[in-house]
A and B are shown apart, each in its own frame.
Chain A
Amino acid sequence: MNGSSPPDRLVNRLLGPAGPEISCERCFEELDRYVELELAGANADAAIPGMRAHLEGCSACAEDHESLLTLVAGEERPGA
């Protein structure tokens, strides 16, 4: 099956991630640490188990993650 087709995405939204995931509250608590680990090239997913699955399952938290990652990455870039 094509993993990017709309029906596939719908099934993923309906059934959510397969693995264990953390809550929205825990995601917010850990988001800054997770992003800095990612930007440092460390294994953020091993450091905070269940974060990646939650970001796949929760579009609002995924947006928050994307924004923080982009903002902090931009600030770290010389001349940004």
Chain B
Amino acid sequence: MAEPTEVAERMDAESREWLERLQAEGRERDAAIAELRELLLRAARFEVRRRCATLSQIRGGDQEDLAQQAAGDAMVAILSKLDDFRGESQFTTWAYKFALYEAAARIRKLSWQGRELPLEAEQWPQVPDPGPAPHGEVEMSDLLTAIRQEIESSLTPRQREVLVALALNEVPIDVLAERLGSTRGALYKTLHDARQKLRARIAARGLTIDGLEK
């Protein structure tokens, strides 16, 4: 971790000013907080506009409420984490990510509100047999069959539930975290472990998936 003097040297003047004003007292701090709130609202509105373009269930007035709430939550998070800002980016970029994160998570949750979460493997696509694959390549249908079998036989119930919901049924991770009383990070760790186990089992079967890697 960088020493405080290193951080001070690295930080640009504008970011340093933001930090000093937010850590001051009285009118200077109040003014800085008002400016930060505008900045966070701009970012939250940006995210809400982007995401809601394809979501008819979130109307105009609700979109503004959503942006205001996201900006408010982002403000609370930022003020509690000011000491974490290391000056490795501009302060405004650092602050924006909190507003974008809060707005995006709220939109994902709203878009799934009232919907039952598909936690079972119900949506396996029917893959037409393309005929013999070139030498060394695995046929897609064989690979999907192997993955499906390993999901059933090699994963723990929790790993299976998380992998099927997130990767197969494309439930947003924030939505699943809320329903399961977990966090994005914890669920992603479970997903990661499940994927690693599947990769190892697929390799143990002698199947190669290199052709799929980017």
Contacts and interface: CB of A to CB of B under 8 A. Distances in A.
B161 to A, nearest CB: 14
Interface string B29-71: 0000000000000010011001000000000000000000000
A34 B199 CA distance: 28
Interface residues of B, number: 50
A7 B97 contact: no
Q: Name A's interface SS.
A: helix
Interface stretch (B18-26, B111-119, B190-198): B190-198
B214 interface: yes
B104 to A, nearest CB: 6
A37 to B, nearest CB: 9
B168 A10 contact: yes
B97 A64 contact: yes
B167 interface: yes
B105 to A, nearest CB: 8
Residue among A23, A59, A67 with the highest chain B CB neighbour number at 10 A: A67
B74 interface: no
A46 interface: no
Contact of A60 (B84, B88, B104, B209): B104
A15 to B, nearest CB: 6
Interface in A11-68: 11-16, 18, 21, 23-25, 28-29, 31-33, 35-36, 56-60, 63-64, 67-68
B72 interface: no
B193 to A, nearest CB: 10
Contacts of A7: 125, 127, 140, 144
Contact of B100 (A14, A29, A36, A68): A68
